[in-house]
Amino acid sequence: MAQHALVNNIDHKDIKIINTRSAELGDDLWYALTFPREFRSVQTHYPILLHKDPQTGQFLSIALFGFQEGENLFLDDNGWHAAYIPVSVKRQPFLIANQTRMVDGKEIQDRMLCIDMEHPRVSKEQGEPLFLEFGGNTEFLDQTASMMETMHLGMNDGEAFCKTLAALDLIESCTFDIQLKDGKKYQMIGFYTINEEILDALTDEQVLELKNKGYLQAIYMMLASQGNIHHLLAKKNAQVSG
């Protein structure tokens, strides 16, 4: 069970974060959240699709790592084999919490860095320390705080991106029928992509709006990234053959 705490140099002076990659540390994910600000890096390695949040019904952009629950085809006993790992994965075990304070009678929301003390990456024996001997932040902690700010802004932008796609009716469901060399078949449902016919039929004004928001480039990166499905299939076939 998660145990969230605000990061501080008293309670967490001896805490270290294990930053190697393994299934035991929670990296056995078949997909993870991503956002337009990192699409350029993500699309080099992973298919980018859309998925609907079952609780809110909102669309989210995701990077796909495998074909079924618990399958990360980039992960083996020697680590994660890709030059880029999405921020939503790298940030574990950290998260952002909002703390409210009053300033001149107005509520101000401060973003605070929190840590899940029950996460398997949290250790006192090994990993990257959060604080220096006399209480100052380590470079690792400062970089983590910066990464979390990037993720916060990116996820807000990603939410707006998906709402824009939905408003323009650009989202369509997609089904992937996967057949391996050994004859096994997988059908992946519940994912969504861009409707290219509707995209091509957008007015000049709509295209310009997407371009000005930086979303037009993100759309084409999503579409281009889906060629990585073939790379995933090759990885899966190699795993089966091995």
Taking only the tens place, the pLDDT of each residue in 186-218 is 788 889 999 999 999 999 999 999 999 999 999
* DSSP conformational letter for 50: E
Name residue, tokens 């009053």.
Answer: 102
Residue 112 has pLDDT above 80, yes or no: yes
With beta carbons less than 8 A apart as the criterion, state whether 154 and 87 touch: yes
CA 129 to chain CA centroid, nearest Å? 24
Q: How many CA atoms lie within 13 A of 29 on its CB side?
A: 18
Q: What is the mean pLDDT of the chain?
A: 92
pLDDT at 22 over 90: yes
What pLDDT does 182 receive? 83
Those residues with Cβ within 8 angstroms of residue 69's Cβ, 6 or more apart along the chain or in another chain: 30
- Radius of gyration for the alpha carbons in the chain, expressed in angstroms and rounded: 20
- Of the pLDDT bands very low, low, confident and very high (cuts 50, 70, 90), residue 238 is confident
Mean pLDDT over 181-189 rounds to: 82
**Cis geometry, peptide bond prior to residue 93 (ω within 30 degrees of 0):** yes
Number of residues in the chain = 242
Rounded percentage of the chain residues whose pLDDT exceeds 90: 79
The 3 state secondary structure assigned to 163-193 is HHHHHCCCEEEEEEEEECCCCCEEEEEEEEE
For position 242, what pLDDT does the model report?
60
